[in-house]
Amino acid sequence: MPTWAIVLIIVAAVVVAAFIALYFFGKRIQKRQDEQQEAIEAASQNMTLFIIDKKKMRAKNSGLPKVVQDQMPRRFRLAKLPCVKVKVGPRVMTMLADNDVFKQLLPKQEVKATVSGIYITSAKRIRGPVPEAPKKKRFKLF
């Protein structure tokens, strides 16, 4: 058998093994994500929030409680998180938002939101429809 055929067979075997490993790894990750989503839905409650400010910032600068920062995985401590400063009744607090919800929220508006702990999973404006995010204009060379 020629050398190039042996190399081709070995490369094909490695690629097939990688696909099989990724399949099972992805299946495990999907199962874990489904369990976490069920836990979030079980702990969710509806609240009326007044949005004071929203920013994407690192966890240590966001004003989240120290306990929450300690429990975060390292990749989330270094990444910029969608933080929303809200007023719930007389209390002002910082919450994290889902990326889709973060895009919909505007400062100085009152929303009915579904909250699970300090995580905002969905929000609906009380007065008027939710404004669409402005579309970015792209510069085209040709």
For the chain, domain boundaries: 1-42, 44-125
Residues of the chain above pLDDT 70, percent:
92
**Taking all residues of the chain, what is their mean pLDDT, rounded to a whole number?**
87
Residue 130 has pLDDT above 60, yes or no: no
Dist. CA 63–CA 101, nearest whole Å: 20
3-state SS, one letter per residue, for 41-71:
HHCCEEEEEEEEEEEEEEHHHCCCCHHHHHH
Each residue's pLDDT tens digit, 44-68: 899 999 999 999 988 888 888 888 8
Is the domain spanning 44-125 CATH 2.40.50.660? The answer is: yes
Please answer whether residues 54 and 83 qualify as being in contact, where contact means their C-beta atoms are separated by less than 8 angstroms.
Answer: yes
Q: Which of 45-54, 66-75, 101-110 has the least mean pLDDT?
A: 66-75
- First-to-final CA distance of the chain: 52
Greater confidence, 133 or 88?
A: 88
Each residue's pLDDT tens digit, 9-40: 999 999 999 999 999 999 999 999 999 889 88
